[in-house]
Structure 1
Amino acid sequence: MAGRQRVDAWIRTPGHFDAVIDFDRAVRDPADPGRLLPARRAGDWLHLDPEGYRVLAEAVPERLFRHIS
């Protein structure tokens, strides 16, 4: 988990990418950042329930779909 957190911190640091969709931040448990929100898990602590996938969809900024000319 520590390795994943280091990689996530690097990805979130400005300057590496044009945009980042932070799915981890959208569905992690603030009380235990290494796991999914209990209310959004499907039962196995690995997969999301349907509402969890809706939360992921809402985490995608609409501006990423706008045409840039």
Structure 2
Amino acid sequence: MSEYDTDSSRRCNRCGTAVSRRFIRVFGMGDTVHGCLDCRPRRELSQGDAARRDTDTADGDTLTAWKRSGN
């Protein structure tokens, strides 16, 4: 299995989508990722948001706050 392959045991903790080992290595922290291309915009991923858990407070990002409100 290559580092690009997905495995059902490697999932986004935010939405549950399977992610590759490489995605976790690049965007996550340790063996955990809190966002993927299915639930976060690329801009948020590039800013390190996949390595951080969601908080109840708005982080200043209108899109993220909007998604959290269920829209």
Q: Which of the two has higher C-alpha Rg?
A: 1
Shorter-chain TM-score above 0.5: no
Output the TM-score relative to the length of structure 2.
0.24
- Normalized per residue, the structure richer in helix is 1
Output the TM-score relative to the length of structure 1.
0.24
